[in-house]
Structures are given as C-alpha cells and as structure tokens.
Structure 1
Amino acid sequence: MSLPASASEALAAFATAGAWEQRARLLMQWGERLQPLSEAERCDANRVQGCESQVWLVAKVQDGRWQFRAASDARLLRGLLALLLARVEGLSAQDLAAVDLADWFARLGLARQLSPSRSNGLNAVLQRMRELTLRAL
C-alpha cells in the first residue's frame, strides 16, 4: 500500500530531524496544520473516548476516500494527530483497517516518545476512525 503524499512529506521531514528537541519543534509545527473545528463540531458526539486529553474527530467520505479532521486541547497531541491524519488521508475503509499505528510512529522516529497513555489515546482515535468508516458501509 502506497503512502498518501502528506505521509511521505512527514517521513521526509522527520528523517532530517535529529535530536528530540528538533522532533518536538517539528511536531508542534505539524499540529498547527490541523484545520480548526468549529464550536459545534467540538461536541460530545465527536469526542473520542479513551483519550486522557480532549480529542474531537469528524469524518466525511468522498468517492470512497476518507477525510478526517481532528482537534485537541493538548499541543503535543495536536502534532501527533496531524501525523496520524497525514497517514490516513484519503484512504479507503479497507486500507484504513490495515494501518499499523506503532509502525507509523516508529518510522517517524517518534515511538520512544509515545507514553503508554498517548499511545492508547492515538489507538482510540484510530479505532474511532475505523468505527466511523464501518458505520458508513
């Protein structure tokens, strides 16, 4: 399965980042790329359960390809969400089901920085994405 263009861009960007400080700065920059959610979209129905921080996720499908938008109240998590969205952008429900979150963040060189609670939260976001795609079938 080939990567979305934004995922390839993320891999290239993080490949050049050396120390954790550079990666953290890059992570914050990626978080700033998230399209803001409206107040109406920041509702309980769009809130992802299983995250320590507040995370909201909205989805739409266009021509069988999924587009997600997300927001969080935590800066570092916004960056991680942006990288997750880059990985899943435009995937079909079938391809989304095959995404390996741990492998993706390892390829970015961020696996060691994912605490168990952050990892669980990102897995909850990915699981919510999969639920939304299945509901649409």
Structure 2
Amino acid sequence: MATAAFEEIAEDFEFLDDWEDRYRHVIDMGKAMEPLDDALKVSVTKVDGCASQVWLHPTIENGVFSFKGDSDAMIVRGLIAVLGALYNGVPTAEIGGIDAHAELGRLGLNDHLSAQRSNGLRAMIERIRQVASA
C-alpha cells in the first residue's frame, strides 16, 4: 500500500546494510527538502510531543493529501521527508489505512530511534491522520 516514493526509499535502504549509512541517508533526505516558509511556522502547524521544533503544513486538494514540513533537527527533517514519501499524494480516504509503524519498520527506523524521536514520529503521524480524517 506504500507509495512509489516510499518504495524507492525502502529499496535504497536494502542496499545500506549499516544503520549509520541509513541514518546519514535520512539526514541527507532532510537536507534536500525545501525549507518551510517561516510564515508557516506558527502555533497551528507546530506538532506537540516532539523533542525538537516540528511544523507540518498539510493541504488537501481534490481529496488528495499532501504536506510540507520542517524541523530544527536534521534527523527530524529527514523523518519528515520519509513521512512525505509515505503520505503525500495519497487520497485522504486511504490515509487511515496506512500502517505507518509497519512501513517504517521495513526501514528499521522503529529499532534505531530514541524514545523521544519515536514519540515525535508518532505525534507527526497522528497529526497527519487527524487532518486527513477531518
């Protein structure tokens, strides 16, 4: 059920045996992401429950979900990029059916993130699901 963009990340991760290489790849994905406009970094787009500053700005057009995001932590920017690959371009009706925990588990992220980062990731996923179901 994952998007083609997420499947591409999963394929990349298959070639990266070492977790350090995977970690760097996630950071590189975050660096490659376009920064969120400062005007969108407001309380309504801020995600609570994250150790670092995180903002998600979702949009829904013709029933299709997408978002842009940003963080002050490079690894979190990378996680936002991974979530973008998982959720952007998906019809809102299908967002709730995506098992993010299982999909991220395919990348090994569940086993290698700190408790705080895992909590923040869950908070971002919950925000995405809330917006898509509203």
**Superposition TM-score, scaled by structure 2 size:** 0.92
Residues in 1 aligned to 2:3 and 2:12: alpha-carbon distance in whole angstroms: 14
- Report the secondary structure of 2:44's partner residue: helix
RMSD after superposition: 1.3
Residues in 2 aligned to 1:98 and 1:123: alpha-carbon distance in whole angstroms: 15
Residues in 1 aligned to 2:109 and 2:127: alpha-carbon distance in whole angstroms: 22
Q: Which runs of 4+ in 1 moved over 4 A?
A: none
**Superposition TM-score, scaled by structure 1 size:** 0.90
| Structure 2 match to 1:59 | 58
Structure 1: segments with no counterpart, 5+ residues: none
Residues in 2 aligned to 1:15 and 1:114: alpha-carbon distance in whole angstroms: 18
Deviations 1:32-87 (A, max 9, x none): 23221111101111101111111000011122111111100011111111111101
The 10-residue stretch of structure 1 (29-38 or 66-75) with the greater mean CA deviation from structure 2 = 29-38
Q: What amino acid sits opposite 2:36 in the alignment?
A: L
Residues paired across the two proteins, number = 134
Residues in 1 aligned to 2:57 and 2:132: alpha-carbon distance in whole angstroms: 11
* C-alpha contact 1:65 1:92 (8 A) present in aligned 2: yes
